[in-house]
Structure 1
Amino acid sequence: MKVATWNLGWHLSLAEAKVWIAKCSAPFQLNAATGLWEPAESGTPGWELTWGRDAPIAWNISVLPPCDVFKTPAFDIVPVTEAAYVKRSGQLTTFIENKIAPDVIAFQEVSGEQAVRDVLPNDGADYLICPFTSHKVQRLAFAWKKELGQAVECEVEDALSLPFLAEKDRVRPGLALALNIDGKLTRFLNVHLKSSCVSPLDTPPDALDGDAGDGDPCKVLQQQIVPLETWIEHKSVNTNRVVVLGDFNRNVWHETHETGKTRTDGSDPKSELPSTVKVRKLIDEVNDGAPDGSQLTLLDEACPINVASDNTCKRLKSAKISDDEKLLKRSENLGCRNPVGLDHILIGAGFSNPHPAEKVALGRQGRTLSASAEHPNPLLGLSDHCPLTAVLSD
């Protein structure tokens, strides 16, 4: 069974993209009374505004993506056309069919079922889909080959969204899928954890147990650890065929190479986590092997595009090397802006995998280029992430 995970980067259905493009192409003016850029009869197109989480723009990014999704390598915003978006959709379809060919694929940052069908071969006729419509526009979805059978379960794991937070601060939930494959219960969990708390090796470090103030994303990720571990423990009770995959937004390889305790108090991660104690290493806490049978294996990851890429990926598991990261981003190597360190696959003892998970290169299709006199439509990159795939055996 070939499984894959891919973050498609604010991906919309073609119909939704048409609405988004129209709204971003429309003019805005600064309202002196509210301090917000608001839609107006004339003014500055949305493409030309300065975007960001707290940008003073009358725009709800939980409903539609910001207008700066597509950027050049120099980080200039690229205005999108309908023709360019249709072309990208077709390129995604070809890429999935020819370069990934998954039996099961977990998507992150897709708006819903139609957004997934738009990029699957033959409009998804050979796949079943597990989507959801709640929460915000950066949703999760599974697609799997029909011959694997109907879903036993397709459930939103709301606890990972931290429902006790204010609505504007809630993060993405998980999505759980269960299939009976050849009579064997197989469970999948698709995650897209809190961003911007990537590595303990960053400078300054993204310390998972740190406290850089109310806006520290590591404080949010810290709160997702218990619901993630709870899912793994509870869902491993009646099957060892478990796959947890997705965009962790955390370089767990760097955690494994960092010296020190799993928890701030040095207690055993197999014990219940005290409310006053913080976790320093996400991967060691959620994958502590208790109860028996819940231990997962973090699949090794390789970049078999060429020797330089593969060796670079190996070095980056234990170090932060900016020149290595730049090398992987080049189109002759992986070609994606977030080449390694964020996406991971873990498997239960019911599977064997003699080979590492593999990064699939986007190459030149990872680039976004502005329109020009010769090319009236821009070229849109497929994603800022490269897919990660693995072949699992019994």
Structure 2
Amino acid sequence: MMNLTRIALLVSLLAAPAAHAADPVAPQSPAVQIGVASFNLAWAGSQQDFDRHAAVCNAVSWCDTRPKRGPGGARPDEAAVKAAAQCVADTERQAGGPSQAAMMVPCNAYLGRNTSTPPTSLDYAAKLAGLQATIDKLIETQGVRVLAFQEVRSADVVKTLLGRYADRFSVCDAPHEGFQTVAFAWDRSLSREEGRCNVNRELAVSDDPNDPKARKVRPGLALELQLPGRKVSFLNVHLKSGCANIVPTPIYQARLLDDPAPACAVLNRQVAPLERWLDSTAKSSPEYVLLGDFNRRIDEEAAADIKPEQVRIDGSSALGVPKQDASGKVATRYLWQELADAGRPLTQVPLQAESSCRGFTGLDHIVLSAPLASRQAPGLVSRKTAVIQSPAQRIEPSDHCPRSVTLTF
């Protein structure tokens, strides 16, 4: 007859597999759908920012700090360059110095086509009202809960533009030495933990690496959210303008990133920092969204028949971060093919046609990492929403339409 100890051991051994089989399976976190939008706010500051802008610009007769090209001219003539330089000097003197002038909107920013009559505080208030109404529409009718902003003065301005939703959203921005910066607003109910924002200052390259006083372009901004069961990141960019397309138009010349034009040289020097940022994010947060104003038609690049050996000047593989020279430039011709290489594939969210939207086309994009793209249903598209404004409005709220998409996380 077995003793009690041996019986107890036998019972425990026989019961162990059954108990293990009955263990509950860890539940999968349910899919969450979140509206995400990118919106360039076109030099959006506070009402006080505008009043200061108007006072300085009145004092300098609303001059233009950028030299103008004559009709049919490839570049500004000597007289135009001299006039712009004088405008810069006068504006800096009235503003209180170069650093103060850098934190002010250029005098021509809000003039539009009517340059004979300067805009007023009421005109600017109408611009802010249009932005607020547009953002309200994104949140109310499209369920947007994460918003990436470009060309905004500060987080305080974003809070004002959120209007009745200001108490529901958290906001962060990227402090910068220029008026324009990038910012995020997100519905704080998305996560039990507070979102984390990190500034990427590497993207804020200098317009002229040989001039320590030269203006720096906008930094990048990352938002990290802990959603149920997973961490996701959003990367907000506003890259250098003036080197946008590879297909020529009646207005814009086709330019590759190795083009000698100054704007292309600056955008070129943002490539390596952007690649490093994507690589670092992919390691810590494989599911991420890259969005914002790319100032580059990466949709044109993606649609073009670009051979792998054409991406870089030396014909080398586009895998990995390209080597930089002493100034930060890389041997890259195409932004999209450089970023979306086989080592870290990316997916552009295509745009659904939106006939009611006016403003720039092809500059604002929403891009998904491969792990996040794999979670989306087939046929995913983004849309543009027309900016709300009155027919007679003198300062349009923005020359960009917000681009949005509903993503599954």
**TM-score w.r.t. structure 1 length?**
0.77
Alpha carbons of 1:271 and 1:355: their partners in 2 closer, same or farther (altered >3 Å)?
closer
2:160 paired with 1:118: yes
Residue pair 2:272, 2:321 contacting (<8 A) in 1 also:
no
CA positional deviation for 1:75:
6.0
Aligned pairs for 1:214-293 within 5 A: 216-260=262-306, 261-275=310-324, 278-290=331-343
What is the match of residue 36 of structure 2?
Answer: 3
2:91 corresponds to which of 59, 66, 73:
59
Alpha carbons of 1:99 and 1:273: their partners in 2 closer, same or farther (altered >3 Å)?
closer
What is the match of residue 153 of structure 1?
Answer: 196
Q: CA RMSD in A?
A: 2.3
Alpha carbons of 1:380 and 1:182: their partners in 2 closer, same or farther (altered >3 Å)?
same
CA positional deviation for 1:211:
1.8
What is the match of residue 383 of structure 1?
Answer: 398
| Alpha-carbon distance in 2 for matches of 1:128, 1:51 | 36
Percent identity for Structure 1 against Structure 2: 30
What is the match of residue 130 of structure 1?
Answer: 172
| Alpha-carbon distance in 2 for matches of 1:18, 1:116 | 18
2:382 corresponds to which of 357, 371, 377:
357
2:201 paired with 1:201: no
Residue pair 1:14, 1:118 contacting (<8 A) in 2 also:
no
What is the match of residue 148 of structure 2?
Answer: 106
Residue pair 2:256, 2:334 contacting (<8 A) in 1 also:
no
Residue pair 2:132, 2:163 contacting (<8 A) in 1 also:
yes
What is the match of residue 350 of structure 2?
Answer: 300
Residue pair 1:100, 1:360 contacting (<8 A) in 2 also:
no
Letter in 1 for 2:105: P
2:123 paired with 1:84: yes
2:94 paired with 1:69: no
| Alpha-carbon distance in 1 for matches of 2:122, 2:114 | 22
Residue pair 2:44, 2:128 contacting (<8 A) in 1 also:
no
Q: Which is richer in helix? A: 2
2:366 paired with 1:345: yes
Letter in 2 for 1:82: S
1:171 corresponds to which of 217, 222, 238:
217
Unaligned 5+ runs, structure 1: 29-44, 310-332, 370-377
What is the match of residue 96 of structure 2?
Answer: none
Larger deviation, residues 96-105 vs 184-193: 96-105
| Alpha-carbon distance in 1 for matches of 2:178, 2:190 | 29
CA positional deviation for 1:137:
0.8
Alpha carbons of 1:64 and 1:123: their partners in 2 closer, same or farther (altered >3 Å)?
farther
Letter in 2 for 1:279: T
CA positional deviation for 1:283:
0.8
| Alpha-carbon distance in 2 for matches of 1:251, 1:77 | 34
Alpha carbons of 1:201 and 1:78: their partners in 2 closer, same or farther (altered >3 Å)?
farther
Letter in 1 for 2:108: D
| Alpha-carbon distance in 1 for matches of 2:161, 2:135 | 8
CA positional deviation for 1:279:
0.9
| Alpha-carbon distance in 1 for matches of 2:321, 2:311 | 13
Residue pair 1:151, 1:177 contacting (<8 A) in 2 also:
no
| Alpha-carbon distance in 1 for matches of 2:357, 2:121 | 27
SS at match of 2:273: helix
What is the match of residue 20 of structure 2?
Answer: none
Residue pair 2:64, 2:107 contacting (<8 A) in 1 also:
no
2:55 paired with 1:15: no
| Alpha-carbon distance in 2 for matches of 1:176, 1:346 | 14
Larger deviation, residues 138-147 vs 152-161: 152-161
Question: CA offsets per residue over residues 156-204 of structure 1, 9 Å max, x none?
Answer: 1010112693342421111111111224211111000010001111263
Alpha carbons of 1:347 and 1:52: their partners in 2 closer, same or farther (altered >3 Å)?
same
Letter in 2 for 1:14: Q
What is the match of residue 181 of structure 1?
Answer: 227
Alpha carbons of 1:366 and 1:151: their partners in 2 closer, same or farther (altered >3 Å)?
farther
Residue pair 1:69, 1:77 contacting (<8 A) in 2 also:
no
CA positional deviation for 1:87:
2.6
Residue pair 1:299, 1:347 contacting (<8 A) in 2 also:
yes
Q: How many positions carry a matched residue from both structures?
A: 329
2:149 paired with 1:96: no
Q: Which has the larger radius of gyration?
A: 2
Residue pair 2:151, 2:180 contacting (<8 A) in 1 also:
yes
SS at match of 2:42: strand
Question: CA offsets per residue over residues 1-20 of structure 1, 9 Å max, x none?
Answer: 11100111111012222222
| Alpha-carbon distance in 1 for matches of 2:124, 2:321 | 48
Alpha carbons of 1:17 and 1:258: their partners in 2 closer, same or farther (altered >3 Å)?
same
Letter in 2 for 1:278: A
Larger deviation, residues 143-152 vs 154-163: 143-152
What is the match of residue 33 of structure 1?
Answer: none
Letter in 1 for 2:357: L
